[in-house]
Amino acid sequence: MVASVHVEIPRLKEFVGKIHGMTDEIKAQQRGAMTKATDMLAGEVKSRIHTRHPGATGSARAGIKPRVNASGNAGYVNTKNKAAKFSQIGRSPGRMPRPSTIAKKFGLDPDEAFLVARAIGRRGTKGQSVMAPTLSAKRSQVDHIFHEAIKRVVQSVR
């Protein structure tokens, strides 16, 4: 004897059709959430740099930019400023930086700046990461931004 069970979900085809027709809405919500998250993270990184390095000239902060890729599924907070990159990752031993740069940055006389530059050339410097700890600290806010976007998509299906 063959037994069969017939399961029917009322309005399933209608629901699936709505979802397939919403790809533009889903992409817009995704891109909007990614833009909001990267903007928030960039602002927080700039704030943390100012707090950790109050004597900084501001070029490192000004160079920090949020960016979202074309499809909206990846966001970046980065900088093209060389000084900001070195402050994040450090500098390995090797060539010594220009003493004039060290003198200007730290307000040292030329002799002191030469000694500091030579020490940096010999020992390198340790990076002071700001970006990764910022993401860790703000993870719940980033998650909340995306959960709200998902809620908006689900509500528009109803």
Task: For residue range 49-71, list pLDDT tens digits in order.
Answer: 766 655 555 777 778 889 998 88
Tell me the Cα Rg of the chain: 25
Find the Cα–Cα–Cα–Cα dihedral 140, 75, 73, 68, rounded to 10°: 130
| Other Cβ atoms within 10 Å of 9 Cβ, number | 8
pTM over 0.85: no
In eight-state DSSP terms, residue 137 is: H
Is the CB of residue 135 less than 8 Å from the CB of residue 142?
yes
Per DSSP, helices labelled H in 6-98 are: 12-20, 23-52, 59-62, 82-89
**Of 125 and 39, which is predicted with more confidence?**
39
Mean local confidence (pLDDT), 85-101 = 83
Task: For residue range 111-141, list pLDDT tens digits in order.
Answer: 999 999 999 899 988 877 777 888 889 999 9
Residue (of 122, 78, 82) closest to 105 by Cα position: 82
Find the Cα–Cα–Cα–Cα dihedral 65, 70, 74, 77, rounded to 10°: 0
What's the confidence (pLDDT) of residue 2?
A: 56
